[in-house]
Each structure stands twice: as structure tokens, then as C-alpha cells.
A and B are shown apart, each in its own frame.
Chain A
Amino acid sequence: MRGVKILERALAALPIMLGVCIVVFLFMRLIPGDPVDIMLGEASNVTQEEIDALRAQFNLDDPIHVQLASYLIRVLKGDLGYSISRSAGVRDLLLEALPATVELALSSILLALIVAVPLGIITAVRHRSAVDRTSMAASFLGISMPAFWLGIVLILVFAVRLKWLPTSGRATYGFVPAHVTGLYVLDSILTGDVLALEDSIRHLVLPSIALGAAPAAVITRVIRSSMLEVMRKDYVTFARAKGVAEWAVILKHVFRNALIPAVTVTGLEIGSLLGGNMVVETIFGWPGMGRLVVDGIFSRDYSLVQGAVMVYGFTFVAVNLIADILYTWLNPKLVIGEKV
């Protein structure tokens, strides 16, 4: 039964992914000038016949719905086009940059959860205490602070002034671990390369803080407020009356039920993290997808930008799907797809 529900929810994500493709395609059509114009650039010695021939060669003279259909088929085959600025397939470029982005995103969200979960619990249990007030003020600051500025301040303090941590990049030259998964931390553990492990962690710290601060703040607030709500419920009073130890009440009865909104928000935060990583990757010279996109914009490499935007969209849909499936595991009474 639950399997069917999960499958249903997964199928419901398909039309959205289709929509993502269509929006990206329309974006491409909205650019002033088509790929042929871009290719020919300023060239003046081209006749109209030659331009038309080129258009026909790329099927740009077909009606728009035919172009859309062939575009969708190409995407389905995994063909995201060709990057002019880097002279390589967009898919290959994205795949190459993906591990760096995944590693940074994972470590940021991990960092956010390590801070947010205990802090959310403590602030809820010690409601209106000094700890609560301070962390709420801090979380407000975290929400209001743009990731890129936080990144710059971190570089200024910890890299430029104190010289504790490197300013940019993923690894010091010569410390790149042997390639297994592309995630440097994981690779250096797998290959037992202690020096590379230390080096890649040192490079990860600052960008992860810059990127993870806002999600940490949001998740703390959500855990706190939903814990406060659950703590007022009758079954919590009942558990206490039964003589269940206070820590068990908090962790087993309150926290588990308060987790559901936290999972939703974590899913959404991963989305904004994907957006934030463009600026943070730019600041820290992190060779991931975000920087690829930003470079692509400056070299007017539209197929690269579109391919990346589409991958970001797909990832976001997938993350939300996973969050939805996690709900049922946390609260079996819940029907998938229902808003919590």
C-alpha cells in the first residue's frame, strides 16, 4: 500500500519535470538572437542564404512545437547540448563539476543539521530562557545575512587575518586524492590518504559555514516552534504522567513528531542552498556547477546555463520527492502528498 503511494507521488513529479524542461526551452527561445546569430557573431560576409541554410541545419526553421518536441527527446537521451565557450558537451561538463557541488552541499546541510537539531531541541525545552533568546536572535541574523557576504567576512577573518584556513579552492596542489567518487573527503578516506583528508576538510570548512548558516537558522526555528507545539499535546502530558523519563519524552515523543515540518523545510533549504552555491562557489573558487553557470553567463554560453538550470530544477524536484517519502516513514498515518 505504501509502495503504491510512493510510486504515485513519484509519478506526480514527472509532469513537473516536463514543465521544467518546457520553461527552460522557452527561456532559450526568449533570448534575442538564436544560436546561429551567436555562432556567426559579428561576421559580415555571410549571405542570407547561408544563414538560412545554417538555420535549416540546426532545425531552427521548424515550427516551435516541433522544436520543443525534438528538444525534449534530446534531453531524454541525456543530450544537453554543446558548450561553445568550453568546447565540450554540456552534460560532460556538468558531470565533471557535480561531485564538487554535491560535496559542498552535503557538508553544508550536514553542518546545518548538526547545529540546528540540538539547538532546536534545547531552545524548545528551555523556552524563553537566555539560551533561547540568544539563539533566536542569532538565527534571525543568520536568516538576514547574505551567504556571499558572510563568505567574504569569513575569508577576511579566518584566511586573510588569522591564516588558519585556505582562501579558495578544493585542495592544495598535489594533495588531490586518487579519484574514486569525486568527493575529495570520501575519496581520501577510501584511499587512506590522511594528508589529503586533512587538506580537503580544511578547504571545506569556510564555504560550508557560509552556505550552511542560513539553513541552520531556518531549521533551528522550525524545530523549535514545532517542538513547542507538540509539547502542548495531550499524549505528551500522558507520557509524563506515566512516569516516562523527561529525556525520553523529549526525544521519543516530542522530537520525533516535530521532525516532520523539519524534514519539509530541510528539503526546501536544500533548494535555496543550490541557489546560494553559485555565489559561494564563486567567492571560494570552488570548481562546481555554480561557478560553471556564472562563467557560462559571462561567456554568453546559453546551452551551458540552460543545461545547468535544468539540472538544478530536477535536483530540487527530486529532493522534495525524497522529503515527501520520508514523511511516511516518520509518520505512517500520513498520506503522501498531503500538506503537513
Chain B
Amino acid sequence: MIRGVSARAGVRRKLFLLRLSLWAENAKTTLKRLRRNKAAVLGALVVSVIALSAIFAEAIAPYPPDEMNLSDRFSPPGGKYILGADHLGRDVLSRVLHGARVSILVGIITVTISVATGGALGLLAGYYGGWFDAFMSRLTEVLLAFPYLIFAIGAMAMLGPGFWNLVWALCFKGWVEFFRLARAGVLSEKTKEYVEAAKVLGRSDFEIMGSEILPNIVNPLVVVGTLRMGTMMVMEASLSFLGIGIPPRIPTWGSMIQDGYRFILNAWWLSTFPGLVLVALVLSVNLVGEGLREVLDPDLQTF
């Protein structure tokens, strides 16, 4: 009896390791094929550069992001300040570097939460069906009836500015798309023979969902997840631009563009540079996402 159990545990461990190595193998071939896509490589490069400069912003930035030199207000680009100085005499370059942190963090955190919750709920709803599925599907239909930015603006109006409030406001609706992707995937997979086989072998529902179905439906989640990081960054910038996103004491590209917009008649560089970096980052993320789509799920309609 005991021997039987331990033997089974051993098999299980071996199976798990086998799966891990398969995943690693898949990831490797994906990366290999992605490397052949020049646009995706360029995108990955730009993303890495921006991410690195965000991480090491303190070391790279020529000035602290909040340091005000009122005598240098509105210094044009060049000279003492490479990208100029703002209405309080703060260095635009330093603030752009620090602002990258918010954009990147918001992109990663909101997409991770959205993919995890949406994916898990979609798996459960698709696998079990019944009232849970019916309820969740109706709920997502209602949430889809709100344009994303309006929903986020409404949520921020209620929650008030703040980093985590912004993350929650974006996630409230962010999971819906992943729920629908995962659910549709499960519905087409769960009648297939390998799932039947796993059931006959007596594997539990959670094992079937997690280790049988999930690997087969994860590709569109990865592709859309990558693309949505760009969307979330734009959303964050839009909310911060409106002044209802990240509180003003933290430098973000959205609020920098807002500052610049107020002085649009006399200082063009204030809005231009943070906007350019934002566009570069979002564009690069999208290039990587499109590259992933070509490798992982060529038939997926993304834009």
C-alpha cells in the first residue's frame, strides 16, 4: 500500500520534471523563432534599454527628479539640461528616466493580475460550465459594454489617485478579455481525447485543468497579455494626464505631458520628450507582442 503510494508519487515527480523540461524546450524554440523577426528583436532591445534605465534611474539621472532650480525654469534642451528643464526648473531627462518606472510597473502588474484572474476564472467557467459559467459570461458581457478608458476613469473617480488604486481600476476590466480567451480555449479543448484519457486515468479536475488543458490554451494569453501591456501603459498615462492617475509627487510620463500641455505656448520640450519615450516603449512592446503572435498563434486576430 505504502509502496504503491510512494511509487505513484515518484512517477508524478518524474512527470512534473518532464513537463518542466518540455516547457523550457518550448520557450527556447519560441525565443529562437522570435529572434528571426527583426522588428521583434528591435522592440525587445528598446524595451530592455528603457527597463534598465528605469531600474538604474538613480545612477544614470544627472539630477534628482524633484530637484528644483528656479533660476533654470524653462531652460531649453541642450546645455546644462539635455532635454531641457520644466516650469519648476526640474531636469526633464531625469524625470523621464524615473517616470519609466511607473509605466513599466503598471504594465507588468496589471497584466499579470489580469491574466492570472481572467485565465483562472475562464478555465473554471469553461471546464465546469453551469450557473458559474452563465453568470460569469453575463458579467463579462456587461463589463465589455463600457469603453475601457471610461470604466477606468469612473473607477478612479471613486477610488481617488494612487498607484494601487490605478492598478485596481485597470484590472477591474482587464481580466475580462483573458477570461473570454481562456474560456473559449477550454471549450474547444475539453472534448478532445487527451482530456478524456486523463479523466479515465482518474486524474483530478484541477490536475486536468492545470497540467493538461492550460498548456494548450496558454499561447493566446501570452500574446494578448504582451500586447495589453502597451494598452495599460497608455491607459496609465491617459489617467495621469487627466490628473486622476498617479499622485503628482511621483514623476510619470502622463503627468509630465500634462505639465507640458499647460505651457504648450512657450516650452515645446516638456510634453514632447516624455510622449516620445512613451510611444517608443508602447510601440516596442507591441512589436514584441506581434512577433510572439506570429510564432505562437498566427491565426489570432489582435488588432
Contacts and interface: CB of A to CB of B under 8 A. Distances in A.
Interface in B120-171: 138-139, 141-143, 145-151, 153-158
A305 B141 CA distance: 22
How many chain A residues sit at the interface, stated as a range, is 35 or more
B278 interface: yes
Contacts of A149: 237, 257, 271, 275, 278-279
A37 B149 CA distance: 28
Contact of B286 (A144, A155, A160, A261): A144
B54 interface: no
B268 A274 contact: no
Given A19-B145, A275-B148, A309-B150, A156 B242 contact: no
Interface in A127-182: 140-141, 143-149, 152-153, 155-156, 160
How many chain B residues sit at the interface, stated as a range, is 35 or more
A16 interface: yes
B189 to A, nearest CB: 18
Contacts of B139: 19
Interface in A272-321: 272, 274-276, 278-279, 282-283, 293-294, 296-298, 302, 305-306, 309, 312-313, 316-317
A331 B184 CA distance: 25
B157 to A, nearest CB: 4
Interface in B252-303: 257, 260-261, 264-265, 268, 271-272, 275, 278-279, 282-283, 286-287, 290, 301, 303
Contact of A297 (B145, B157, B264, B272): B157
B243 interface: yes
Contacts of B268: 156, 160
A336 B272 CA distance: 46
A293 B138 contact: no
B152 to A, nearest CB: 8
B183 to A, nearest CB: 13
A313 B275 contact: no
A316 B147 contact: yes
B230 interface: yes
B252 to A, nearest CB: 13
Contacts of B303: 143, 217-218, 221-222
B238 interface: yes
B146 A160 contact: no
A27 interface: yes
B286 to A, nearest CB: 5
B234 interface: yes
Contacts of B244: 297
A313 B274 CA distance: 32
A3 interface: no
A146 B157 contact: no
Nearest to A289: B150
Interface string A56-81: 00000000000000000000000000
Contact of B145 (A16, A153, A155): A16
B241 interface: yes
A278 B142 contact: no
Contact of B141 (A16, A153, A283): A16
A278 B150 CA distance: 8
B141 A19 contact: yes
B283 A279 contact: no
B264 A153 contact: no
Interface string A235-264: 000000000000000000000000001000
B interface SS class: helix
A189 interface: no
Q: B147, B158, B238, B257: which has the most chain A beta carbons within 10 Å? A: B147
A332 interface: no
A156 B263 CA distance: 11
A239 B261 CA distance: 55
A152 B279 CA distance: 13
Given A140-B286, A146-B237, A153 B275 contact: yes
B286 A143 contact: yes
Interface string B66-100: 00000000000000000000000000000000000
Contacts of A218: 303
Interface string B203-245: 0000000000000000000000000001000100110011110
Contact of A27 (B158, B241, B301): B158
A31 interface: yes
Contacts of A22: 142
Contact of B283 (A140, A294, A312): A140
A279 to B, nearest CB: 5
Given A146-B279, A152-B260, A279-B238, 6 more contacts: A20-B145, A30-B158, A148-B257, A152-B257, A156-B271, A282-B242
13 contacts: A16-B141, A20-B146, A27-B158, A31-B158, A141-B279, A145-B279, A146-B279, A149-B271, A149-B279, A160-B264, A160-B268, A271-B147, A317-B145
Q: Which 3 A-B pairs have the closest CB atoms?
A: A275-B149, A19-B142, A275-B147
Interface of B: 138-139, 141-143, 145-151, 153-158, 230, 234, 237-238, 241-244, 257, 260-261, 264-265, 268, 271-272, 275, 278-279, 282-283, 286-287, 290, 301, 303
Interface of A: 15-17, 19-20, 22-24, 27, 30-31, 140-141, 143-149, 152-153, 155-156, 160, 217-218, 221-222, 225, 261, 271-272, 274-276, 278-279, 282-283, 293-294, 296-298, 302, 305-306, 309, 312-313, 316-317
